[in-house]
Amino acid sequence: MRTLLRLPAFLIAISVHECSHGYAAYKMGDPTAKYSGRLSLNPLAHFDLIGGLCLLFFSFGWAKPVPVNPYNFKDRKKGTIIVSLAGPFSNFVVAVISAFLCAFTLKYVGYSCLAPLSELNGVEFLFPIFQYCMLLNIGLMIFNLIPIPPLDGSKVLMEFLPYKAREVMYQLERYSMLVLILLIYTGALDGILMFLQEGVFEIIMLLLKPFF
């Protein structure tokens, strides 16, 4: 049941994230994503089979990266930074919308939405879907800003590093996925990620406070 609730949230998150990368690249002068059919919110355009299976079995997945050619950007440095940040920012926007829908559902459907999944009926199922969509998008935003290749945060960091440091990063990139997997599965990042997630959640609550 939980997996079925996670699936729509996952598909929304990856579609918005990758489409935002592609659209930002297009606006900065690179049509690669457009010609590849990736300027779309259709989940099928971005779905990765292995990433989807990982969602089912490990509660975390990923999408096919949108192809981007930074040499087409009008301003390569500015374009790289904007395109890299577009994905995480889009996840923040979706998280805010999802939080609003959570609060709206709770207010107008009632606290019965907070019951265990097995006891929910009809529109009450909307609350856990919106809730997971909010939490997933907050998590994806923060995770993608980690400055380890190939995550978005590393591409932003690269643009501010001196040439020699950038070369070292390029050399280490081949080991980056292994490092990232080790950090995730050893829980080494859990503390800082949880702290950041709570901070982002508080910001979202402040943004929504005038509405409820």
What are the residue numbers of the active site?
18
CA distance 175 to 172: 6
> To the nearest 10°, the Cα dihedral for 179, 183, 188, 193?
120
Measured between alpha carbons, how far is 18 from 72 in angstroms, rounded to an integer?
18
Q: CB 22: neighbour CB atoms within 10 A?
A: 27
* CA 166 to chain centroid: 25
At position 164, the amino acid (one-letter code) is K
Helix axes 76-109, 126-144, angle to 10 degrees: 160
Number of H helices, E strands in the chain: 8, 0
Task: Provide CB contacts within 8 A for 139, sequence distance 6+.
Answer: 193, 197
**149 Cβ partners below 8 Å, 6+ apart?**
155, 169, 172, 173, 176
Whole-number Å distance between alpha carbons of 3 and 129: 10
